[in-house]
Amino acid sequence: MSSFWSIWISVITLGSILGCYLLLRWCLQNKTGVEEGDNMHHYFDGIVELNNPLPRWWTILFYICIIWGLIYLALYPGLGNYKGLWNWQSSNQSIKSLAESRAAVEANKTNGVINQYDREIQFANELFAPIFDGYYKQPIPELAKDVEALKVGQRLFSQNCSQCHGSDARGQRGFPDLTDDDWLYGGSPEKITETLINGRQGIMPAQLNAMGDKDIEELVAYVLSLSNRPDLEQATVDAGQAKFASCAACHGPDGKGNQLIGATDLTDQIWLYGGTEKALTETLKYGRNGVMPAFKTTLGEKKIHLVSAYVYSLSQDK
């Protein structure tokens, strides 16, 4: 840091602390001309303001904070380039890029230096590895009946999946409900595991360039008719059906979808992005692109095995 910024930071920091001190001193003086405890003659909705001083305990706390701040700034680095009396340094203080960070991690490994985070991860891995190994040997349908295994699976789900699928796994717009036995990619143990290991990407191509507004309106009517929506104009539905051939390549001739590419079933009244005319028009015009991240490296296959069992269990009692 250049000495200009160093001085700049120091002046602002120390100036603010001094400012707090002066403000406190100023507020402690009675400049109102009214005796302490007497009526200020300010009335608000029948409430009277008395000239009370700042509470003593609060003033003392404020002084302690100021002293604490000064001691802290003296001991630790903080004021620009000043290193502090204790010469404290964080372990990655000089690291300025990802490449340097990786190099430092490698250097630590070769020199046998283990920091606190690594130590905790290593400890947890050694402690829990036998448990995960044990579960990994059991098939998913069996684990899905094992209350203890499901508890672990649920915890992994809360930490890794709930931000998208919800803590109850019921999903939200754009994020599938995992409890309803309606699957984009298949609900067998193998398919669920495959989804988690490699991730998934659903690509519904935008039609706006290929089609006009009228074509889209007709197709929306046809899609609505597939799930027996009433009040549709038959002529529009028929016109839409005639144009469905290009959609059938992915969604199937009967609109029942294709789990190999995650093309949704359009006949089951379960919608990923909404089944209103407005939502469907938006889907057709601009396309959709749902991404389920891959968990192969973050969780590893053994933990995925347990989460898969948990997800599998959610739709089993229905």
CA distance 152 to 143: 11
CA torsion, ordered 117, 120, 126, 127, to nearest 10 deg? -150
Q: Does 261 interact with ligand HEC (rule: CB under 6 A)?
A: yes
Amino acid at 285: K
Provide the residue type at 174 as one letter.
G
- Interface pick for ligand HEC out of 293, 294, 301, 302 (rule CB under 6 A): 293
> How many chain residues are in contact with ligand HEC, going by CB under 6 A?
49
How would you classify residue 293: left for phi > 0, otherwise alpha for psi between -120 and 50, otherwise beta?
beta
Q: Is 132 in the site for ligand HEC (CB under 6 A)?
A: no
Confirm if 9 and 80 have CB atoms less than 8 A apart.
yes
**Which residue stretch of 13-21, 24-32, 113-121, 292-300 sits at the interface with ligand HEC (rule: CB under 6 A)?**
292-300
User: Scanning residues 207 to 226, which ones bind ligand HEC (CB under 6 A)?
Assistant: 207, 219, 223
Binding ligand HEC by CB under 6 A: which of 79, 143, 150, 196? 196
Spatial distance between the Cα atoms of 231 and 202, rounded to a whole number of angstroms? 31
Q: Which of residues 134-193 bind ligand HEC (CB under 6 A)?
A: 157, 160-161, 163-165, 174-176, 178, 183-185, 192
Rule CB under 6 A: say whether 291 interacts with ligand HEC.
yes
**Residue from 264, 306, 313, 315 that binds ligand HEC (CB under 6 A)?**
264
Distances (CA, A) of 216 to 147, 169, 281, 303: 49, 33, 7, 44
Q: Which residue has the tokens 């699976």?
A: 153
Asked if 206 is part of the footprint of ligand HEC (rule: CB under 6 A), the reply reads: no
Distances 161 to 82, 154, 169, 259, 271 between C-alpha atoms, Å: 44, 10, 8, 21, 20
Indicate the residue among 202 and 217 with the shorter CB distance to ligand HEC: 202
CB distance 255 to 267 below 8 Å: yes
Binding piece for ligand HEC, criterion CB under 6 A, among 96-104, 115-123, 228-236, 245-253: 245-253
Identify which of residues 9 and 197 has a Cβ nearer to ligand HEC in the complex: 197
Residues at the interface with ligand HEC (CB under 6 A)? 157, 160-161, 163-165, 174-176, 178, 183-185, 192, 195-196, 200, 202-205, 207, 219, 223, 246-247, 249-251, 261-264, 266, 271-273, 280, 283-284, 288-293, 295, 307, 311
